[in-house]
Amino acid sequence: MLSNNDTIRIRMKWLTFLLVPLAVALIVRLYVIQIRDHQEYLEKARARYTTTRVTSGKRGEIYDVSGNLLVSNIPCVHIVADPMNLRNPKRPDDQSKRRKLAFLLSRTFEDSYDEFYQKLSPTRFRRDKDGNPVIGENGKAELLPNRYAVIARNVPLDVAEKLKEQVKVNKINNVLTFSDGYMRIYPKGRMLANVLGYTNVVNDASIAQIGLEKYYDTQMTAARGRERFERDRTGRPLPYGMREFQESRDGHNVYLTISEPIQAILEEELDAAFAEWRPATLYAAIADPKTGNILAIAQRPNFDPNVRSTFTPEAARTRIAEDGIEPGSIIKPFTIGKALDWGYVTADTVIDCDKGTWFYLGRPLRDSHPYDTLTVAGVIQKSSNIGTAKVALLLGEEKVYQALSSFGFGQKTGLPFPLETAGLLPKVKRWDGLSITRFPIGYGVRVSPLQMLRAYCALANHGWLPTLRLVDRVEDPATGETVKVKTPPPVQMFEHPAAHQTLVEMMTMVTKTGGTAVKAAIPGYEVAGKTGTSRKYIPGHGYASGKYFSSFVGFVPARDPAFVMLVTMDEPKGAYYGSTVAAPTFRAVGERLLRLMNIPPDPALLPKK
Amino acid sequence: MKNKPRRQARNQTAPIGGMLLTGLKFLVMLAILTGLVDYYIYLNQKIAETERAILNNRQQLSRTIREIEQLRIHKEQLSAWPHIRAMILRFDLDLREPAPGQVANIAVLSPAQAAVIPLENASNFNPAAPAPGTVPQTPLRRVSRN
């Protein structure tokens, strides 16, 4: 018979037999969880309370040369709703909150109540890839809970704040989410719009479309940042939690050579000219001949990059760089200037102008006014086609081609316009017999207004041809470090400085009494320039009747120019001579610019009272 | 022999005193430990509160920065010439652009910049005299808009 002690001992053994394996199992399990699979469980746990926030820097801004803002990013708020949170769990049919919120939104955004009421529907259709509702087995469209409805994007801060307060007062909690964002803005509206370009927003990212926005997209695009942290139940970072932080980087800022005050003057006068002459297109640009810096550049029609409805294909293009036009007489000084430089003619060489009609290879060439003879200076002053063609014949085809190509015709200016045209200056082997009489007077060649501006910079800059500049420097906003955009040094176009001086003197005669552009003259200043009127060539139809390009290009003061300006009108209405339509715009802009630049007039040149 | 019962009594009370002392020491240690833990919790709480305050301030700062950014753009819009011109026309202000010579530029130099300019240049300083009437002064033109 077993004693009490024996019974206890047996029970103890059984208990040990049961407990020891249990303890071992527990230890093994503990080992598996805490040591072997530790990392796996830790990651699972972290995934639950770790969150990642993507931060985005701001896209680079664009400024004028003095730091006036032209393109920026305006803070705004994007508002989305979770309509499921509008439901009353106790009374599913209660739509009072939905109605109240739809009313608030329609009042805030001045939009249709019905539209917002529809957006706030707690259910939405399940849709297939093509966007069509999916029909269920019961023949009805399948419904899904609606947890995400975009209410408004790019809402101004004050409007969003007001809405927030109203929502709070009306106790509509946990329905609207207000997230911070930025919207591309062009504070100066239409000013310089064709050059600046614009961006579209796709999935909250700015996608550059045209203009400088497109050309400098890589530099201006911001780098996204990433913040990973352990959060508490309200979503805030835990004080001692893990935190990884990769900072976002703002895009680089671009500083142009454009001067906003000069640009404003040009745009204002262009508006006046556009209203007066109603041309199909109007181009104008101003440059500093010494540096090649473009001070202002404008075209009509244009658009407001802040208002999408103003975008039209014709208005949105940078046509001043992309369009090639037959320049007409404004190209004459280059052939004649080179003829002077190479010694083929002097200012006093007399040219027979055949009383206004000259036949060459059986084809007539006419002057707008008949002249018997003209000196070479007179050829420029009166803008004689026949006189220029005869000077070109003295040079020969090779020299004429050399003269025109040396001033950059047929070559891109290198400005940051992706679709810039190189124009058209055919090689000599492609010239027909008439080319030598037509190219020097601006027919048969195609030139962009910017190429012409560059060539005139050489005439204004004592013969030195500069490289045009539109972008002055690029700045890293984080460090303040700026990188100057470098250009090659200017090239001298004239072998004899006297030839250049003679040419400039001849061009000053154009704006004096007896010249073709007296309307470009500015009292108190000597203006050198040239008018141009060319019939418009329409591919497939030849030269159109009654359609002209009318231009004036000039620089002032002629001896030490502060700026070079080009004004070109395509199909002006009412008049078509460059001297009538383009020269007054040059004068209007020039007068104001000289005041702005504080360039005093020469008292000797002021009209006597 | 007289002292024996007293010694016995002392021997009996000594363990009680020791136990009390040990207990007291334990309580003191416990109090210190509790105090430290309490202080640790208090500090943690303060840190959490400060973190929250920092976060709130940071959010407030971010809001203010955004408001400043908006104001900066608004200022740029208001200082643009088309807006100024519209206001001149609206209020019919008889303003005109200055003639050359009526404008003087003043550069404010830092002490370091001023120090490198020789003093005699200051006596030669002769601001350009305005030349009234040298240029026809045209008032601001009204431009028709389509």
Say if B82 falls within a structural domain. yes
Domain membership of residue B98 (yes or no) is no
pLDDT of residue B119: 65
Select the residue of B77, B138, B146 nearest A187 (Cβ to Cβ).
B77
For chain B, the farthest-separated pair of C-alpha atoms sits apart, in whole angstroms, at 138
Q: What is the pLDDT of residue B128?
A: 42
Tell me how close the Cα of B25 comes to any Cα of chain A, in angstroms.
35
Angle subtended at Cα B95 by Cα B90 and Cα B101, rounded to the nearest 5 degrees: 155
Contact predicate A517/A531, CB 8 Å: yes
CB–CB of A68 and B81 under 8 A?
A: no
The minimal CB distance from A264 to the residues B82, B99, B144 is found for B82
Domain span including residue B76: 21-92
Task: Say how many CB pairs under 8 Å bridge A and B.
Answer: 91
pLDDT digits (tens, 9 = 90+) for B103-117: 777 778 888 878 877
Instruction: State residue A137's pLDDT score.
Output: 82
CB A558 within 8 A of CB A508: yes
- Do B80 and A189 make contact, defined as CB atoms within 8 angstroms? yes
- pLDDT on residue A463: 95
pLDDT of residue B127: 41
Outline where B80-143 has alpha helix (H). 81-90, 111-115, 119-123
A323: nearest Cα among A299, A352, A303? A299
Contact A236 B55 (CB under 8 A): yes
Q: Determine the distance in angstroms separating the CA of A193 from the nearest CA of chain B, rounded to an integer.
A: 14
Tokens 């715009």 sit at which residue? Answer: A585
Q: Which of A234, A237, A298, A230 is nearest to A264 (CA)?
A: A298
The amino acid present at A593, given as its one-letter code, is L
**Confidence check: pLDDT of B134 > 50:** no
d(C-alpha B72, C-alpha B57), whole Å: 22
A329 catalytic per annotation: yes
Measure A239 CA to nearest chain B CA, in Å: 6
Number of domains making up chain B: 1
Cβ neighbour number for residue A177 with a 10 Å cutoff: 13
User: Which one of A178, A188, A306 makes the best mutation probe of the B interface by having the most chain B beta carbons within 10 Å?
Assistant: A188
Q: How many angstroms separate the CA atoms of A316 and A318, rounded? A: 7
Give me the pLDDT at residue A96, please. 87
- Could you give the CA distance from residue A120 to residue A172 in angstroms, rounded to a whole number? 13
Residues of A in Cβ contact (< 8 Å) with B97? 592, 595-596
- End-to-end CA, chain B: 133
Q: What is the CA radius of gyration of chain B?
A: 43
Segments of chain A scoring below 50 in pLDDT? none
A115 DSSP β-pair partners? none
Considering only CB atoms, which chain B residues are within 8 Å of A179?
A: none
Average pLDDT in chain B: 76
* Whether the Cβ atoms of residue A287 and residue A295 lie closer than 8 Å to each other: yes
What ipTM does the predicted assembly reach?
0.78
Q: Which two tokens stand for residue A258?
A: 């454009």
Q: State how far the Cα of A594 lies from the Cα of A583, in Å rounded to an integer.
A: 16
Does B136 map to a domain? no
State the pairing for strand pair A253-256/A62-63.
Answer: parallel
Domains and CATH numbers, chain A: 260-605 (3.40.710.10)
pLDDT tens string B67-100: 999 999 999 999 988 899 899 999 999 888 777 7
Task: Name the residue of chain A whose CA is nearest to B71's CA.
Answer: A74
Q: Which of A237, A595, A601 sits opposite B98 (nearest CB)?
A: A595
Coil vs helix vs strand at A11: helix
pLDDT band at residue B5, thresholds of 50, 70 and 90? low
pLDDT at A191: 93
Considering the candidates A72, A206, A329, A579, report the single residue annotated as catalytic.
A329
Q: Is residue B9 part of a domain?
A: no
**In terms of C-beta density within 10 A (0-12 exposed, 13-18 middle, 19 or more buried), how is residue A48 classed?**
exposed
Q: What is the pLDDT of residue B133?
A: 38
CA distance B108 to chain A (A): 17
Classify residue B33: in a domain, yes or no. yes
Return the closest-CA partner of residue A75 out of B1, B73, B24: B73
Of B52, B131, B141, the CB nearest to A600: B131
Scanning the structure block, which residue is given the tokens 């360039």? A599
User: Quick check: A601 and B100 CB within 8 A?
Assistant: yes
Block residue for tokens 């990013």: A73
Cβ neighbours of residue A195 closer than 8 Å, sequence gap 6 or more = A211, A212, A258, A297, A318, A470
Kindly determine whether residue A188 and residue B80, on different chains, have CB atoms separated by under 8 Å: yes
Q: Which DSSP string do the residues of A51-88 spell out, in sequence order? A: EEEEEE-PPPPEE-TT--EEEEEEEEEEEEE-GGGGS-
Structural domain contains residue B81: yes
